[in-house]
Amino acid sequence: MYYSTPENFKDLNGYIIDDIWYPRVTSIVNIKAKPALYRFYAEMENFSQGESVKRQSATEGTLIHDTIEKIFRGEKSEIDDSIKPAIVSLQNFLKDKSIQVDPEWIEKRVINFDERYAGTIDALALIDGKFGVLDIKTSQAIYRDYNLQTSAYIMPLKKQLRSLSTRWILRVDQNQKCLKCGATLRTKGGREKIKTSKNGGANCLHEWEPAQGEIELKEFPYYEDDYSAFLGAKKLWEWENDYWLKQIGYF
């Protein structure tokens, strides 16, 4: 990525906390190769189209995140029609699973003073008798990369909260199913993507049902190896950004 000034680099890659700059967890994790993202760009007509879809997808994802945050806080608000299927399904899922979210730990900043990085967790929650980090994603699948991010959150938190024992990814999405062949249609970022079913459907004149929410909760209780990998990614990120880090006096 191109940076115009040291301040620009700092703004895009970290937080200033008590007059000290810390690299952001998500910036560090971005140093890792992402095959799924490469495939996404390969499917686009050009790079600009890919960037446009990414920006709109990020806006839609933020809308879902903000709405879920209000639900976790017990606040009432209007649900945007564009995300209503996903949010309604999530509300039903939360009731069925009896997920309890700690309101004091929603969108909370986490700092690792020893390893010098910071991040913002989505929430801490009690699920099935276990207390852990809950990270919300609006992707079409749960990717292994998420383990790096959540391990970076849980390690410093465990020093504060001895009862913290695990982490979960909560994926919130929505799609439409073809009533004829079972294919699915996912619309995000202004882009429609059809996934055919095992029964075929490539030549089907699809008849789409109304959008339905898709909720997936997956626990990742073992995080030591992921954390070691995160620290490795941090070292590579520091190497890659050596010039700017020297400019801001990080080393």
pLDDT per residue, tens digit, the chain (251 aa), is 789 999 999 999 999 999 999 999 999 999 998 888 888 889 899 989 999 999 999 999 999 999 999 999 999 888 999 999 999 999 999 989 889 999 999 999 999 999 999 999 999 999 999 999 999 999 999 999 999 999 999 999 999 998 999 999 999 999 999 999 999 999 999 999 999 877 667 788 999 999 999 999 999 999 999 999 999 999 999 999 999 999 999 99
| CA distance linking residue 92 with residue 169, whole number of Å | 17
pLDDT at position 198: 75
pLDDT at position 215: 97
Which domains can be identified in the chain, with CATH numbers? 11-239 (3.90.320)
In degrees, to the nearest 5, what angle opens at C-alpha 213 toward C-alphas 208 and 218? 135
pLDDT at position 37: 82
In degrees, to the nearest 5, what angle opens at C-alpha 82 toward C-alphas 173 and 181? 60
Helix or strand (DSSP H, E) at 188? strand 184-188
| CA distance linking residue 123 with residue 134, whole number of Å | 5
Per the CB < 8 A criterion, the answer to whether 89 and 215 are in contact is yes
Per the CB < 8 A criterion, the answer to whether 112 and 105 are in contact is no
Which tokens is 104 given?
């004091």
In degrees, to the nearest 5, what angle opens at C-alpha 152 toward C-alphas 96 and 139? 50
Residue 51, φ and ψ in degrees, nearest 5: -65, -40
pLDDT at position 62: 95
Q: Which of 168, 115, 126 is nearest to 146 (CA)?
A: 168
Helix or strand (DSSP H, E) at 166? strand 164-177
Q: Which of 83, 90, 100 is nearest to 134 (CA)?
A: 100
| CA distance linking residue 164 with residue 167, whole number of Å | 9
Q: Whole-prediction pTM value?
A: 0.92
The 3-state secondary structure of 30-94 reads CCCCCHHHHHHHHHCCCHHHHHHHHHHHHHHHHHHHHHHHHHHCCCCCCCCHHHHHHHHHHHHHH
pLDDT at position 200: 66
